[in-house]
A and B are shown apart, each in its own frame.
Chain A
Amino acid sequence: MPSKDKATIAVSSSDQQLVLSSLEPEQLARLKKHLIPRRHLKGIEKFVMWSLRIYLLFMMVVVVYQVWASLH
């Protein structure tokens, strides 16, 4: 039986019935602690993600340069 903490103490049995009848299982706050399995990234997906990461870093340097140029 899972341990109960102060978040669960005041929940009545009628509330419990209400929750179980109106929410989907994955909507329960405590069940969200379960991790969703990791997905395997394909080569093309890694390539796109790394490309955009490099793009972002490069553009940040450009923005810093733009700020520096404007201030001088």
Chain B
Amino acid sequence: MNLGPLSRLTPQTAPQEDVVITHEDVDRAHDRVRVSAARAQRGFFSRFRLLWLLVGPGILVMLGENDGPSMISYAATGARFGIGFFIPFVILTFCMAIVVQEMTMRLGSATHRGHAELIFDRFGPFWGWFSMIDLGIGNFLTLITEFIAIRAGLGFFGVPPWAAVGSALVFLCLAVMMHRYWTWERTLLAFAIFNLVFVPVALLTHPNWHSVGSALVTWKPLPGGLTQDTLIIVLADIGATVTPWMLFFQQSATVDKGLTTKDIHLGRIDTVVGAALAAIAAVATILATAPLFAHHITAENLQGAEFAQALQPLIGRFGAALFALGIVEAGMVASVTISISSAYAFGEVARRPHSLNLPVTQGKAFYSVLFLCAATAGAIVLIPGLPLVYVVLLVNVVAVLAMPPALVFLFMLANDREVMGDLVSPRWANMLATSVVVFLTLAGLLFGISVIAPNVFAFLGGK
């Protein structure tokens, strides 16, 4: 057996006859055998096969974070501000996501422990429970917004809310009932790639590429300047890219997939490819709704399906249907990943079996938490009169506010030499991570000031 960095802190394996092996271990071992075989061969196709075998958590977490509320936030951004400041800004937020998510992948590969588990073990239950409460509340609120997006997207096709929520729950059941991490991951990846459906929708609007290029270079224009509404969109767009559930999900999925320290380089590629795909989809969504801004169509209270309806005169029924389907897909994929993130964290903290390689009989607690969270969130969305759009934007804002404390745990773990050995974060990564924490904290404080003392913005030259 190979030894990882954590081997110095944990009891070593007993003699072979005393080792307790589970089905989860056997499934993971089969996956690792294929990785070892691909790694042993030379040539381009073997390298590509190795990459194919190891990608997954990074792409899933990034496309999963392009979820229902995120796509609605990007749509609101394009409709309110058009092509300008927010195009490069959204790309910047994905660069921040790469910095953060690379650390979780490295932690998972080096320690083979989930994020919640590591926080509880290294910092104790006091800080562990704080972290879990943040995650639990954040995940549950986000799950509600996923069902809002699914309901809104399917509403475009005339599907009643109860049927929309029901179909999402059935999709969730089918997605996790494969009892095999590999199958689940590949199936969900196939669905997640559908997130790029926003690219053809954007092309149907015939974007002004000169304006896009100019925005990327100058970060302008920002119509309306610095206002409280602008800040909410800024925070919602950050919250659409970096959120606490992503930290827990990617680390747990990395562990469940069985990545080791040898896989870290390709894990980084997985994360960067995921961020690139997600950034393309996000920018495409802004471009897709930018014509609403150009045509002075008010988008103050548009929901997912209403964006599609508003776009229909500009891009036709087919384009609008694609947009609505994109919102549905975003909500469905994220409802799976976020539910699993909660279930992983619960299993890690409660020391119960937690793997997608588990049959239901051996992972009752894991699957129960997963379904209970999703079903409750789905039921809440059916409450009549719920201010859905407001909930969506607020959830993203709350996610941003919860990030700095979560990032400090991640930062400390990634620099914990006892846990990480030589795989601690290099100085440049620490500087980037610190910048992300400071940036998110300042963005949150600016939002707080805008709420408490809105006149400050007039003093600063905004509105």
Chain A residues with CB under 8 Å of chain B are: 1-2, 4, 6-8, 10-11, 15-16, 18-39, 41, 45, 48-49, 52-53, 55-56, 58-60, 62-63, 65-67, 69-70
Which of A15, A23, A31 has the largest number of chain B CB atoms within 10 A?
A23
One digit per residue, 1 when the CB lies within 8 angstroms of any chain A CB and 0 when it does not, for chain B 93-132 equals: 0000000000000000001110001100111100100100
A-B contact count (CB 8 A): 167
Q: Are B124 and A38 in contact (CB under 8 A)?
A: yes
Question: Which of A6, A26, A30, A55 contacts B6, CB < 8 Å?
Answer: A26
Q: Specify the chain B residue showing the minimal Cβ separation from A18.
A: B29
CB distance from B141 to the nearest CB of A (A): 11
Residue from the list B16, B22, B117, B398 in contact with A7, Cβ < 8 A = B22
| CB atoms of B448 and A26 under 8 A apart | no
Main secondary structure of the interface of B (DSSP, over half): helix
B228 CB, min distance to chain A CBs, angstroms: 9
Whether the Cβ atoms of A24 and B2 lie closer than 8 Å is yes
Main secondary structure of the interface of A (DSSP, over half): helix
Is B351 close to A, CB under 8 A? yes
Contact present for A52 and B1 (CB under 8 Å): no
Known: A20-B1, A25-B12. A55 touches B404 (CB 8 A): yes
Determine if B401 and A60 form an interchain contact, defined as CB atoms under 8 angstroms apart: yes
Q: Which residues of B contact A (CB under 8 A)?
A: 1-4, 6-7, 9-13, 16-26, 28-30, 32-33, 36, 111-113, 117-118, 121-124, 127, 130, 134, 258, 260, 351, 353, 355, 361-362, 390, 394, 397-398, 401-402, 404-405, 408, 412, 416, 418-419, 441, 444-445, 447-448, 451-452
- Is the pair B16, A20 in contact by a Cβ cutoff of 8 Å? yes
Q: Which of A26, A52, A58 has the most CB of B within 10 A?
A: A26
Give Cα distance in the complex from A8 to B22, angstroms: 5
Contact partner of B23 among A10, A34, A38, CB < 8 A? A10
4 closest residue pairs by CB, A with B: A36-B121, A52-B405, A25-B13, A30-B20
